[in-house]
Amino acid sequence: MATNVTGERCELTVTGDLDAHSADDLAAIGMLHLAEPAVQSLAVDLAGVTFIDSAGLSALVRMRNAAVAAGKELALRNPSPRVQRMLELTALSGVFATDTPEGTGIADR
């Protein structure tokens, strides 16, 4: 997992499996950045995720809920086909915002 903070925006890049072994780490890092006063938006790049299970989905939902509670934004960027399919199967695809195609801001999905 890689982290890049630029001004008010933080981007987490996730690769490989997002499952019971990695989900809590993702959620902890995401919530740590959301707790930073300077960070107003968090983008989670999921292009490199090859597998996601319910623990991975739960981590994403926990981070989204923390962002909403803090008055901040969370967006999923480039969800891999596997992630997109899981979001659709669980009716979560409409819950998350996605970055605009240019990656310049966050827009509701």
pLDDT digits (tens, 9 = 90+) for 20-61: 999 999 999 999 999 999 999 999 999 999 999 999 999 999
CA dihedral 73, 76, 5, 103 (to 10 degrees): -100
Please give the pLDDT value at position 108.
Answer: 39
Is pLDDT above 90 for 18? yes
Please give the pLDDT value at position 109.
Answer: 37
CATH number of the structural domain 2-107:
3.30.750.24
Query: Residue 19 has what DSSP assignment?
Result: S
Is the separation of the CB atoms in 43 and 3 below 8 Å? Answer: no
The model carries a pTM of: 0.88
Question: Residue 6: which residues within 8 A CB-CB, separation 6 or more?
Answer: none
Residues of the chain with pLDDT > 70, as a percent, come to 90
